[in-house]
Every structure is written in C-alpha cells, then in structure tokens.
Amino acid sequence: MTADLSALRLTRLLLQNFRSYTALDQSFSARLLVIAGRNGVGKTNLLEAISLLAPGRGLRAARGSELPRQEGETALSWAAAGHFEGPAGLAVVGTGAGAGQDRRSFRLDGAPIRNQAELSRHLAILWLTPQMDRLFQESASGRRRFLDRLVWSLEPSHARDVTAHDAAMSQRNRLLAEGRRDAAWLAALEDSMARHAVAAVARRRATTSRLTDALVSGVAGAFPAARLDLACPIASAMAERPALEVEEALRAGLAADRVRDAAAGGARQGAHRTDLRLALLPQDIPAELCSTGEQKALLVSIVLAQAALVAGHRGFAPLLLLDEVAAHLDPQRRGALFEALSDFPAQCFLTGTEFPPFTALKDQAQFLEAVPGSLRPAADFPVPAGI
C-alpha cells in the first residue's frame, strides 16, 4: 500500500447520552488509536458513535430508539459530533435525535443538511466487527448489506438506488397483499423497481470486480487473496445483455409475477435477491468452508483492499474501525495487519480487551483505556512524541 495519499482524521469526538456514555469530550492525536478495556465498558459503543457520523445506520444497524442512554423510564435525547480534518478541509459533523424520536437528524458545520449524501464529500468510514465473523454462515441479506456498505464507500449515490428500489417494492407488496390491482400504480412501482434494481446491481458488479482485482494483485499484503462473485439473476443477465434490455425484462417479469407474488407475500425478482459469494485463493475454497482464522483473515483482506480502492477513487483514505480485530488472528497475521496499517495513511481505531496484543504499535499509536462511560490515557503507553 502506498502512503502518499491524503487521510481523513477524526480529531475530537463529543457524545451526550449515547449508549453507555453520559457525556464524553475526547481528543485524538494520532493516526492509530488503540482502545482497550474489559468487556462491557463501551468500546464498541464508541466505535458505533463514530460510524453513525457517516451516512447509513452505523456498524450495528441499530434503530434510533436503541441509541439513547437508558435512565429508568425517562426518554432521553442523544447527540454525537465529530471534528474532522480531510482533503475538503475542516468539518464538524453532528447527529442525534430528540427525546422519544426514532429518526435522527444531521448537521454539517452547525447547519442542517438535506440528506445524508451531503456528508459523503467529507466522510468515508469502513469497519470490521466480531458480528461480521458470522457473515459466511448467516443469511444472504447479511452478505448483501455488507456488500452494499462497500459499494456506498465508493459510490455514495448507490444508497439512493437501494432505498428507492426497496421503497417501491414495499409499496408493491402492500398493494398486492391488500388485493388492490391498480394496473397503472403497480406498473409505476415496477418501473421504479426495475430501474433502481439494474442501477444498484451494476454498482455491485463493478465493486466486486474491482475488489477481486485488488485482492488478486496483493493489495492486502500478507493477507489472503480472494474472489468475490454475485449470485444474482440480474447480474447474470447483465453479463450477457445491455442494461436497458435487462431493465425491460425485469419490468415485464414483475408484471407477470403479480399473482404469484401476492400469494407468496413478496417479490420473486429484484435487487433484494443478490447474494455475495467469496472464495479463498489460490485453493478456491468457498469462504463458508474455511476455518475461523481464515474467515477472519478474508474479512481483513476485504476491508484493507476496499480502503485502498476508496483512497484511489475518492482521493482520501477512509477511517477504519476495527473492533476486537486481534481475535482469531495468529501472531504472524496480527503483525501483518499492524504493518499494513502502518504503511497505509488511514486513521484507524482498534479495540481489544487488553493492551499486550498491540504492543508492536507502542511507538506509533495513542493508547487509551476504556473505563465505564469514559476514556483515559493508558498509563503504560504514553503518547509517542511527534504524532
């Protein structure tokens, strides 16, 4: 990985009534941050707060009602704000919701924004969490969400197509379930589904292709190469026919499926039928058959490769949030990860239950101890001079 790219930096994080934090005002002085503490003190909550400053629902995909700190039966308002430095200059991004509100709002430099896409000029954040270790065993929807987050980091407009497709599909499902066969209304919804499905799948195809090329080229360093494929009828059709033909066929297929979809309670065709398949190279072993350690290494490979793609495409390295990343990595691969992070300009937050696995970073990283509701400097790891 090259180190001659600009990097996005989070220099200050403020939290109010967020999860386990009553109030936090924390500065970050280094590119690599190590946060360690026992389970349950709020390490993942901290990373989640950072992830919520970017477009989307954050690393837990939590509902808004789950985010405020609990104080008996009283509903609380909550807020999170980050001070960022990046190629677009200084930016303060804030988000939060009022007491009892599920939908959160955003502010950029103190002013409200019209939509989350406005944040994409300033932010790109990638993450890896222990919950993602189940990616290869869980449902296709989990892998699709994982893929869509990768696509969004490269092409922020992808979110609009996925959201528009799903909204049209939901309305169509409701009309069919209610027995309302308004042909013009259904045709309009199916037209929207078809257009947005083809656009969304086209971006998914492009991202999986670019990621595979990057992984095969060794951009993830000592981590394994992998191949990513889409199990998706729309993607298969687009490999053989022009996008407009695929769109028209999907539109016709949805119209023909109305009776079937009404009985089934959902659409048989659409962008929601995409699944992501991964294979470990050079043996070409399906990811679901790999060992736990190999699966973890595959996920690290993908995140590192995607970070390099984002940096090349958008001109700045994204923030990396690596929660409990040392788990399931042997000492050799752990060392390879630290070497890769040292070479790549991205600011990275790493968490763990103890500091010793991260000792190799003592001359480069800011070490913070997580305690209930707060952070404090790690006594045995003073901040190195010059970072």
Predicted confidence (pLDDT) per residue in 169-186, tens digit:
999 999 999 998 899 999
Q: What is the pTM of this model?
A: 0.91
- What is the pLDDT confidence band of residue 350, given thresholds at 50, 70 and 90? very high
Query: pLDDT at residue 93 above 80?
Result: yes
The CATH label, of 1.10.10.10, 3.40.109.10, 3.40.50.300, 3.40.190.10, for the domain at 1-132+318-387 is 3.40.50.300
What's the whole-number mean pLDDT along residues 242-264?
97
pLDDT score of 310: 93
Q: How far, CA to CA in Å, does 190 sit from each of 166, 182, 258, 331? A: 11, 12, 10, 52
pLDDT score of 219: 87
Query: pLDDT at residue 2 above 50?
Result: no
Burial class (CB in 10 A: 0-12, 13-18, 19+), 368: buried
pLDDT tens digits for 304-322? 999 999 999 988 899 999 9
Contact call for residues 227 and 278 (beta carbons, < 8 A): yes
pLDDT score of 5: 52
pLDDT score of 3: 39
- What is the pLDDT confidence band of residue 4, given thresholds at 50, 70 and 90? very low
pLDDT score of 158: 93
The full set of domain ranges for the chain reads 1-132+318-387
Report which of residues 6 and 338 the model is more confident about.
338
d(CA 193, CA 169): 6
Query: pLDDT at residue 64 above 90?
Result: no
Percent of the chain, pLDDT > 70?
98
Structure tokens at 48: 């989640």
pLDDT score of 263: 95
